[in-house]
Amino acid sequence: MSGKLNVVGISGSLSAPSRTLSLVQFATERLGRELDARVQVVDVSRLPQLGLMRSREAAGREETAAFAAVEAADLLVIGSPVYKGSYSGLFKHFIDFVDYGGLVGKPVALLATGGSERHALVIEHQLRPLFAFFQAQPLGTGLFLTEREWSGSALIGEPAEQRFERLVHEAVSVVRHATLPLAIAAE
């Protein structure tokens, strides 16, 4: 097994094509490059058993692999479309089966897409408390984008670009500092 880090994205969108999925892929790939890490994106809409699951034991092969990847990640990059002022129900359904202790201390980049800037605080009021429940480590900078700032393949405008760069900087420094004591301890 190589010593490479793992950056894992989760897209909570039900759409195809999806602006949320493309944003999660964009951010995950960039962070993977910065950290020289392996990258993987979980698209919850493509997990065949997820919608029918009432317990983790009911997970199929693809769901089991997705939960394992998320719980083993060194950095999570999560994104959801805003649905009725919150994250999507399917995103929450996926997160409901993540192991209670599986995200403790894990850095999490919080992303969301929406139709209206009025709902930008979905990051602070919905996503941040969800990951606080897991005692994860959400980054200070989150990214909420409407179609005015995310084309589906590129950030539009300086404010969005600057915010994204700040998120990348925070993520990289948190992950590097998190691994440093472990590397020292292993020597």
Ligand X SMILES: Cc1cc2nc3c(=O)[nH]c(=O)nc-3n(C[C@H](O)[C@H](O)[C@H](O)COP(=O)(O)O)c2cc1C
Tokens 């997705």 identify what position? 66
As a whole number of angstroms, the distance between CA 56 and CA 40 comes to 21
CA distance 179 to 112: 27
Residue with smaller CB distance to ligand X, 18 or 137: 18
Whole-number minimum distance, CB 182 to ligand X, in Å? 35
Decide if residue 13 touches ligand X (CB under 6 A).
yes
Shortest separation between residue 173's beta carbon and ligand X, angstroms: 29
Instruction: Return the residue matching tokens 């994106």.
Output: 41
142 forms part of the interface with ligand X (CB under 6 A) = no
Q: Which residues within the stretch 65-84 sit at the binding site for ligand X (CB under 6 A)?
A: 81-84
The interface with ligand X within residues 18-57 (CB under 6 A) comprises 18-20
Type of residue at 52: L
> What's the rounded Cα separation, in Å, for the pair 185 and 166?
29
CB 69 within 8 A of CB 101: no
Candidates 115, 129, 157, 159; binder of ligand X (CB under 6 A) is: 115
Applying CB under 6 A, the residues found at the interface with ligand X are 13, 15, 18-20, 81-85, 113-116, 119
